Structure 1
Amino acid sequence: MKFGYTTIYALSLMACFTACSKVLDKKDLSAVNESDIWKDNKLATAYVNKLYEDNLPGWNTADAGTSDEAPGGDAVMYGQLTINSFDLWSFSNIRNINILLKNIDGGTLPATTKDVLKGQALFFRAWRYFEMVRLYGGVPLILEPQQITDNLEVSRSKTSACVDQMAADLDNAARLLPPTWTGNDLGRITKGAALALKGRILLYYASPQFNPANDQARWQKAYDANKAAREVLEAAGVGLYDKFANIWFDEMNKEVVWVNRYSYPDKVNDWNAATRPLSEAQNNTGANHPTLEMVNAFPMKDGRPITDPAAGYDAVHYWRNRDPRFAATIAYNGCPWELSGKAGRRQWNYVGAETQFLTQTGFYCKKAVDVSYSKFFTYNSSTDWVEIRFAEVLMNLAECANETGKTSEAYEILKLIRKRAGIDAGGDNLYGMKAGMSTEAMRDAVRLERKIEFAYEGKRYWDLRRWKLFEQELNGKVRHGLVITLLIPQNEFSKIQDTVNLDLNYDQYFRDSLVAVDKVFKIDFKPNYYFYPINTKHLELNGNLKQTNGWDGGAFDPLQ
């Protein structure tokens, strides 16, 4: 049975109040004395479970729109951000983490119990700081729970100091955490997860957003961290799962490194509803519609880009002979998609196929959409969110290897990724990649592979940001889709739609026309968006906070 952390937290507290005489002896049963938490394993574990509940990342159907993956993201994409557009300020969560770290050693729990609880808390403190630092650069480093008598107007620390602290927290977490968990503890933070997050953080810090001078020492540290993460994870049995399309459905498979577990009815998400067509969803729709740019990014099954004349790309039957990740990610007009368990169902995206909310681009996203769900369960999904999977650890390592002169190592990793995807090896065993790529060419190859492998997993926006590629890749452009027109009367087509062979005669029934999905503005990502401003309300509460450079009154340099 799979437990969500909300359930675990509640059950742990119930167990404490029903089985711990020390708690039952208290006069006030509506509260637990803080000092008792660190003397009782069930209470301390319940406290950590609440940290999971409060700090785990989860499903987000808005991320794709702030990139070239899908329409949306208006304020970011059209240059309309203001100082108060964002407000991620996680210090109340960090305070709760710091309470544990300060007090648990004063309790009477066994040392081994303290260690694993501290390790999980240290991980979450690093995660919460990373979320803020990747947005703003340096933020106040607060490592103890503040008291009302303390000076609460803490200045922003240098970005470098924040990165050092996150790395130290994760090193300490890795030292304290086990390599694996079992039973109902499956999904807790492991030693490998801590090292994988450290590898991601140091990769960001080495990337152009934070490292415009291309300091090679940062790339080497990131390489070392990701290599260590790979080695520890592989020793624990983690690796690439052989079924790419099932990564999200075969729960806790070998590729999962860090996960947020969901369980109906206690903890659910609406990813399936938001991503499916409305006719097969409930209460939500309209997210993650793949752009034509995203569709065209997938190579052919031999690994060559569709622009290569030797690849055999057919612009009419564009789904033929594509990288198998295409069929696992993109729902195109007429494709098999047995939603709601409907055997033989095909997805129709032509104008008129849906009476309301037809896809904006001519495509839907298949990734992590469970076809077995009825409409009710699309809005009450228990599909787990995988924040870090082993493929990311490998891709992080490949990027760092290439930037530190080990391009051959990057080749080997991309071959592993493409082999698992189902791309043909080819006579040269390069899976469609060119031989003898330079550092620059391999950099482009790694970036493309990330775009394909992690499509709609909330990675693309952050990658474009840390590479500082929004202006080069997207500014002045618009995203596109297809308007699909049925060429025969719909009542006639409905009689044959389940048997028509579109691989042979698509253009007999349909005409695809290019359409811009950015209808009013072109993309205009501003240079100062690489480091966001601190929300005005925090500046008003703390006179020692400096605004980020590039924004009104900005005096804080996020590159220090």
Structure 2
Amino acid sequence: MKIKLSLLLLVFVFSISSCKKYLEVLPKDFVSPENYFNNETELNTALVGVYDIMGSSALYGEILWSQFEVATDESFYRQSTTTLGVQVYNYDSNNSSVAGIWKALYAGIERANILLANIDKPSMPEANRSVVRGEALFLRAYYYYLLTSNFGDVPLILEPTKSVNNPEIARTPLKEVYGQILSDMTTAEGLVKPITAYNFAGRVSKSAVQGILARVCLKMAGNPLNDKTKYADAAKWAKMVINSGLHSLNPSYEQIFINHMQDKYDIKEGIWEVEFTGNLLQSGVNETGRLGVLGGLAGTNDEIGNSYGQWNGTRVLYDIYKPQDLRRDWNIGSYYYSGATKTKVFQTVAEAKSVGKWRREYELLTPKNRNYNGANFPLLRYSDVLLMYAEAQNEISGPDAESINYVNLVRQRGAGKILNGTNIYAVNIVNGGSGYTTVPNVTINGGGFTTQATATAAIANGRVSAITIVTPGAFYTSVPTVTISGTSGAGATANVSLSTATDADLIPAETANQTAFRSTIIDERSRELCYEGLRRGDLIRWGIFVERMKNSASVATLRYIAAFKYASRPGDNISEKHNLLPIISVYRGIAGENYDFKNRITAEGLPQLNFTTLVQNTGETNTLRLMASTNFTGKYDVAGIAAASWTDITSRATLSTGTDNTASGTIDLSDFKGAGKPLYLAFKYQGYFHPTLKQPSWFLRTFNVNNVLPEGRTSVITAIGQVGWVGVDVKNPTVVWGVPATGQATINGTGADAVNEDNEDWIISRPFNLSSVSTDTGLGLKTATTYLANYTYAYTIPGTYTVTFIATNASRDEDSQVIKQVKLTVEP
């Protein structure tokens, strides 16, 4: 008993507070209720413990949004080698992220239960006690809402856990859990303070409770409960936020997310946020998250802020924006940063664009940590409330003028109508011209603007192929002119398209009836709220999750460029079982599903390399060499290259002679394993001055390193997007490797070479462990609310297989597992 009690209550002893605005750190000697909860300060400090769970890495600190929400019809995980995990809907009940969410949420519930059980202990003003009670009730209910949304039926626990040896308890039916959620939240709504009492969004306020109640009621009205009476309740709660007069839309959409990065508050728009602070590089309070770090505009410059750019937007999302909608190019960034430089490289292919909603360049705290920051995560915004009201009212009685107006307000703000008036939403190429070997300048002049628009061009095959708007300008009174000028090429011309006062408003076809308006709201929620951790839940409650994911996969297969066709993987894998997280899974004993290998990360196999290339402007030969080193130190500069021993393995590969996507063939790397050191791979480009021959251009299309295992499985060590190329210029800085976020490196030769210099340029990979493997994983079979009478699988290859079934259940404070194994022999 004593051991258990200490373990339970030590969860309150943590070093920092998510609610940094009003509470301090817990005393280090706090171990049990018997010697705690003695005064108002201690009660408030315990409340911090209930909040603190929100910022844990399992929830809004990272996992909940970076893994469970990354694969929807809005975005995909930009890691072509990822074939297992939550991000691609290939996981089982043994997955650590699944278990982490469960444990974190029940830890939060336990903290709330302990606080509520002791809330009457200290002497303090009853009004203050009521506020703490309301916040604790609401947070407990919110944690249950997240649990039910992900697991379905869950154990409903409303008292502190008493013993580590409690028997497993049954999961409570979903409807009963939601009944408790509504009861707790409704009680809390009458106890907590208005947001104006705090002037920041990190603490639960009356507006936050009302808005989340609207969200909960919409969930109850949809799948799986389908209680349509809850639409009226959702409309009621949303309207209470609207009628409070405390909230309005920030006129600048992008400023909302800049505020998150800068720890600034706009409580008119931002109603509830998970608070983070610091970046672990300064003294004092540090509770950090990873917004903009994992998913953001890719680049490694420390002044701007390192971002891995792990999310890309989908074409499905990109295509539902109107060109006039400024949210498109903010949410789906039109550029990335070239390596460690501040140079912006503009993308013209939709699926190659990284998520740009949170941009590290706006962070104020320096120096910047490469992996963590203090950006707040938004849980509820006013635009969400407007859209929830419109949705609920439409389901009750169809579209009406008030609901349509609320949606138009959101759209008008998205198009910048208040801030920008008439602006430029497109620069249209009339004539691409010819002879362009360097990107020309684009200048937009005239038009009576208050803010001048800017744009940048891209070239292909000597022509101007695209013009991307960088700044749309503001309050144009007439059509400006476009001038395209440069040091090479001629003849390119373009004109502009100007927005109008009403072009963001809904058209009659979008509000013609209940069905049309429902479809409009489904898309508008994505345009406005993408990447804020809401889309998966929305699609599930609407009953279209699998349908939308299958459509997104089809779009990726049919329309994406080759480098991103793997984005179909989540939709290819998904089925109805993914509406909830699994509690029963199976390892079938086949390659990739061996239970004994579930934690294996290295294995001896056959390491192999393959890649594809294209060469253009052919002239000089032998300009590209494939190099390998096991003693390169990771110092990516001229001295680091010179200090390492490099083996030229070009002879093992086939390089392009002019045909695109020329396959290298399979290259055996086994001879580099004996050193017991990581392997670095590199391409060395070397061109020479020559009076007649050109120095060619090279394009790396694909690049894969695999470990072929004895059991017949091929485990990916890296694919092109994860190679981590770093360019090093040795001679002639005018010709260097370009490395976009896709990893498809290019180096452009210098054309007619009468005035050219010698060139030497390298791209070098990150280090590879040639024995690395991905862990084996099982197949999820059953969720908490699905029925599974039996399971059938037909083996097609003779042999002996060990089949492992894993069932996960819940006790009061933790998850437990039962594992059963069966050995099968399949005869020829």
The bucket for the TM-score relative to the shorter chain is: 0.7 to 0.9
Structure 1: tracts of 5 or more residues without a match: 18-28, 302-322, 351-358, 485-511, 538-544, 556-560
Among residues 84, 93, 96, which one is paired with 2:108 in the alignment? Answer: 93
Q: Aligned pair 1:530/2:579, yes or no?
A: yes
Q: Aligned pair 1:346/2:344, yes or no?
A: yes
CA pair 156-380 structure 1, distance change in 2 beyond 3 A: closer
CA pair 522-53 structure 1, distance change in 2 beyond 3 A: closer
Structure 2: tracts of 5 or more residues without a match: 1-14, 280-285, 418-498, 587-781, 792-806, 808-828
Among residues 358, 378, 383, which one is paired with 1:391 in the alignment? Answer: 383
User: 1:295-336 deviations in whole A, cap 9, x for unaligned?
Assistant: 2121232xxxxxxxxxxxxxxxxxxxxx11112222225x9x
The residue aligned with 1:258 is: 272
Deviation at 1:535, TM superposition (A): 6.1
Q: What SS is found at the alignment partner of 1:448?
A: helix
Kindly provide the amino acid, as one letter, of the partner of residue 475 in structure 1: K
The residue aligned with 1:225 is: 237
Is 91-100 or 446-455 further displaced after alignment? Answer: 91-100
Deviation at 1:116, TM superposition (A): 1.1
Structure exhibiting the larger radius of gyration computed from Cα positions:
2
Larger proportion of strand: 2
RMSD: 3.8
The residue aligned with 1:245 is: 254
**Matched-pair contact (CA < 8 Å) for 1:13–1:42:** no
What is the TM-score with the length of structure 2 in the denominator? Answer: 0.51
**Matched-pair contact (CA < 8 Å) for 1:167–1:198:** yes
**Matched-pair contact (CA < 8 Å) for 1:470–1:525:** no
CA pair 54-473 structure 1, distance change in 2 beyond 3 A: closer
Among residues 291, 296, 307, which one is paired with 1:271 in the alignment? Answer: 291
Q: What pairs with 1:16-55 in structure 2 (closer than 5 Å)?
A: 30-31=29-30, 34-55=33-54
CA pair 11-52 structure 1, distance change in 2 beyond 3 A: closer
C-alpha distance in 2 between matches for 1:382 and 1:162: 34
Q: Aligned pair 1:414/2:429, yes or no?
A: no
Is 382-391 or 432-441 further displaced after alignment? Answer: 432-441
C-alpha distance in 2 between matches for 1:375 and 1:483: 41
CA pair 375-326 structure 1, distance change in 2 beyond 3 A: farther
The residue aligned with 1:315 is: none
Kindly provide the amino acid, as one letter, of the partner of residue 17 in structure 2: Y
Kindly provide the amino acid, as one letter, of the partner of residue 413 in structure 2: R
**Matched-pair contact (CA < 8 Å) for 2:112–2:140:** yes
Q: After TM superposition, what 4+ stretches of structure 1 lie above 6 angstroms from structure 2?
A: 337-341, 423-430, 481-484, 552-555
What is the TM-score with the length of structure 1 in the denominator? Answer: 0.73
The residue aligned with 1:471 is: 546
CA pair 95-32 structure 1, distance change in 2 beyond 3 A: closer
Among residues 326, 350, 355, which one is paired with 1:324 in the alignment? Answer: 326
Deviation at 1:245, TM superposition (A): 0.3
The residue aligned with 1:480 is: 556
Larger proportion of helix: 1
Deviation at 1:149, TM superposition (A): 9.4
C-alpha distance in 1 between matches for 2:359 and 2:39: 41
CA pair 263-466 structure 1, distance change in 2 beyond 3 A: same
Q: What pairs with 1:101-500 in structure 2 (closer than 5 Å)?
A: 101-148=116-163, 152-180=167-195, 182=197, 187-211=202-226, 215-231=227-243, 234-235=244-245, 237-250=246-259, 251-253=264-266, 254-265=268-279, 266-274=286-294, 275-280=296-301, 285-301=308-324, 323-333=325-335, 345-349=343-347, 361-373=351-363, 376-377=368-369, 379-408=371-400, 409-422=402-415, 431-434=505-508, 436-475=511-550, 477-478=553-554, 480=556
**Matched-pair contact (CA < 8 Å) for 2:546–2:571:** no
C-alpha distance in 1 between matches for 2:404 and 2:144: 33
Percent identity (aligned): 21
CA pair 386-225 structure 1, distance change in 2 beyond 3 A: same
Deviation at 1:148, TM superposition (A): 2.5
Deviation at 1:111, TM superposition (A): 0.7
C-alpha distance in 1 between matches for 2:71 and 2:519: 21
**Matched-pair contact (CA < 8 Å) for 2:74–2:531:** yes
Instruction: Return the structure number with greater relative CO, CA threshold 8 A, min gap 6.
Output: 1
Q: What SS is found at the alignment partner of 1:248?
A: helix
CA pair 532-475 structure 1, distance change in 2 beyond 3 A: same
Kindly provide the amino acid, as one letter, of the partner of residue 415 in structure 1: N
Kindly provide the amino acid, as one letter, of the partner of residue 252 in structure 1: Y
Deviation at 1:44, TM superposition (A): 1.2
**Matched-pair contact (CA < 8 Å) for 2:153–2:785:** no
Is 195-204 or 461-470 further displaced after alignment? Answer: 461-470
Kindly provide the amino acid, as one letter, of the partner of residue 215 in structure 2: R
The residue aligned with 2:17 is: 5
Kindly provide the amino acid, as one letter, of the partner of residue 277 in structure 1: A
CA pair 290-462 structure 1, distance change in 2 beyond 3 A: same
User: 1:62-109 deviations in whole A, cap 9, x for unaligned?
Assistant: 345321222238556766343434333232321221111122123322
Q: What SS is found at the alignment partner of 1:169?
A: helix
